[in-house]
Amino acid sequence: MTLDRTAFFIDGDWAAPAGGDTIEVVSPHTEEVIATVPEGSTADVDAAVAAARRAFDQGPWPRMSPEERIEVVQNFSNLYAGRLGEMAELISAEMGAPLSFSNLAQAPAPWMQIEAFLGIARAFPWEETRTGVLGTDVVVRREPVGVVAAIPPWNVPQFTIMSKLVPALLSGCTIVVKPAPETPLDPYLMAELLVEAGVPNGVVNIVTAGREVGAHLVAHAGVDKVAFTGSTAAGRKIAAVCGEQLKRVSLELGGKSAAIVLDDADLAATMEGLKFASLMNSGQACVAQTRILASRSNYDTVVDALAETVAGMQVGDPMDPATEIGPMVAQRQQERVEKYIALGQEEGARVVVGGNGRPDGLDNGWYVRPTVFADVDNRMRIAQEEIFGPVLSVIPYDDVDDAVRIANDSEYGLAGTVWTGDVDAGLDVARRVRTGTYGVNTYTMDFAAPFGGYKSSGIGREFGPEGLAHYTELKSIYKP
């Protein structure tokens, strides 16, 4: 079966691209081309925004009741549930995530988001009447914000599309999705399911393209709100454009999260937990806990345990169900990670496992060796900058106050964990670390609750009623 595609999804149909540029999708494991798809131009984006604009200004979707929209999104959810295995394989093939991770998070988690948002939408106060203080009643309505531009990254493509698409749909918005050029295949399957579910023409439009075309979409006069997930550098540029145009914007950006290991932690359980919290998706995760904080008295024990855990993880073919760490998404990402491993050594950190060079037995593919650094000072660049690969830094702390100080000594504020035998002590630490999400002895995102970042990790929240609210404008109607 060929994965090649020749059209974009615009106005409910397959539209021929305006230009002739194409994207070659290259397997990060074999380095071979697995598919060719069109690369969007500004003209394709213009057509997609025009379709979304028409569907919003004249079409049925924003005028339907929330219940009617919920019914269509429920259809989509049911269809999506039947294609999880296919979706997981597609994402692993295009960007190299271990299938074990794709079967856990790349496909089922987006579906769980749809279900969670459906539950939230059923209970959401779309229109309520309040007793005013001036003798009138006030009808408070939550109306759709308009045409949404959704820009996801490649690392968790469906996860980051769904966190925008579903609340946009449920609110009555229309949307243009611009997937990252590394992951253009999964949106085609998603588009087929949207059509089958009965989403009206023009409500969802998809044009895969690179940064410059993405910037054109952000600045487009036909777009009312931008929902972005990606790097902090791109987020700053997008925020500046949206600020100038007073466009609504939500930003999910980078992270450099800390896992604080307290002395009373169950070390074996902590190491098992860190395999996921620190190294999920081969370390290509915004929430990855890449700074491991251990007390000076327990430092060597934690370093040894982590070195043994990471050395024991299976690296290789993402399609092998036993693989825990796959290749990096692209050669440039492999080179970036290797550059940081070299930098860590120059800064004086000590490699205890991994280091530069190919993993044993892997002659092809964009692999790096999972690496643990010891003797890391939190001011080193490897502790401050997002590497986006399987590279962990173990940093010593004096006491709990010092651990909290180090965790907070970061430009970012996305996530974090504390590992301890005393859950109340863990909750105390959780309250003191300035991040949008935090885990005690676990890191699992829950779609019932808001997700997002403090500081340079973003603006706004996804998931929960808070995430749905980002796709609405508030209107107060005063009536006698």
- Would you call 68 helix, strand, or coil by DSSP? helix
Site string for ligand NAD, 285-324 (x = CB under 6 A): -x--------------------------------------
332: CB partners within 8 A, 6+ apart: none
Site string for ligand NAD, 173-192 (x = CB under 6 A): -------x------------
Alpha-carbon distance of 17 to 408, in angstroms, equals 47
Among 175, 366, 386, 413, binds ligand NAD (CB under 6 A): 386
Among 237, 336, 358, 432, binds ligand NAD (CB under 6 A): 237
Q: How far is the CB of 216 from ligand NAD (least distance, A)?
A: 8
Q: Of 206, 163, 372, which Cα lies nearest the Cα of 278?
A: 372
Alpha-carbon distance of 158 to 288, in angstroms, equals 18
Alpha-carbon distance of 362 to 229, in angstroms, equals 32
Q: How far is the CB of 218 from ligand NAD (least distance, A)?
A: 5
Type of residue numbered 372: V
Q: How far is the CB of 336 from ligand NAD (least distance, A)?
A: 10
Q: How far is the CB of 161 from ligand NAD (least distance, A)?
A: 10
Q: Of 60, 64, 49, 43, which Cα lies nearest the Cα of 11?
A: 49
214 forms part of the interface with ligand NAD (CB under 6 A): yes
Residue 107 or 218: the one with the smaller Cβ distance to ligand NAD is 218
Q: How far is the CB of 109 from ligand NAD (least distance, A)?
A: 12
Among 21, 141, 189, 210, binds ligand NAD (CB under 6 A): 210
Q: Which window, 51-59, 125-133, 253-261, 307-315, contacts ligand NAD (CB under 6 A)? A: 253-261
Alpha-carbon distance of 422 to 388, in angstroms, equals 31
Among 92, 102, 160, 205, binds ligand NAD (CB under 6 A): 160
Tokens found for residue 256: 């450099």
According to DSSP, the β-strands at 147-151 and 225-229 are parallel
Alpha-carbon distance of 432 to 418, in angstroms, equals 11
- Would you call 115 helix, strand, or coil by DSSP? helix
254 forms part of the interface with ligand NAD (CB under 6 A): yes
Positive/negative CA dihedral, 461, 467, 473, 477: negative
According to DSSP, the β-strands at 416-419 and 439-440 are parallel
Among 39, 44, 224, 252, binds ligand NAD (CB under 6 A): 252
Instruction: Name residue 37's beta-bridge partners.
Output: 23
Q: How far is the CB of 298 from ligand NAD (least distance, A)?
A: 29
Alpha-carbon distance of 45 to 217, in angstroms, equals 6
Catalytic residue among 39, 94, 182, 252: 252
252 carries an active-site annotation? yes
Among 238, 341, 383, 433, binds ligand NAD (CB under 6 A): 238
Q: How far is the CB of 305 from ligand NAD (least distance, A)?
A: 27
207 forms part of the interface with ligand NAD (CB under 6 A): no
Alpha-carbon distance of 281 to 328, in angstroms, equals 9
211 forms part of the interface with ligand NAD (CB under 6 A): yes
Q: How many residues bind ligand NAD, per CB under 6 A?
A: 28
Among 81, 138, 195, 215, binds ligand NAD (CB under 6 A): 215
Q: Is 357 exposed, middle or buried (0-12, 13-18, 19+ CB in 10 A)?
A: exposed
Q: How far is the CB of 175 from ligand NAD (least distance, A)?
A: 15
192 carries an active-site annotation? no
Q: Which window, 189-197, 229-237, 368-376, 442-450, contacts ligand NAD (CB under 6 A)? A: 229-237
Could you tell me if 341 and 391 are in contact, meaning their C-beta atoms sit under 8 angstroms apart? yes
151 forms part of the interface with ligand NAD (CB under 6 A): yes
Q: Mind giving me the DSSP string for 230-294? A: S-HHHHHHHHHHHHHHT-EEEEE-----EEEE-TTS-HHHHHHHHHHHHHGGGG--TT---EEEE
Could you tell me if 474 and 132 are in contact, meaning their C-beta atoms sit under 8 angstroms apart? no
Query: How many Cα atoms within 13 Å fall on the side-chain side of residue 111?
Result: 21
Catalytic residue among 39, 182, 242, 286: 286
Residue 197 or 337: the one with the smaller Cβ distance to ligand NAD is 337
Residues at the site binding ligand NAD, with contacts judged by CB under 6 A: 151, 153-156, 160, 180, 210-211, 214-215, 218, 229-231, 234, 237-238, 252-255, 286, 386, 388, 414, 453, 458
Catalytic residue list: 252, 286
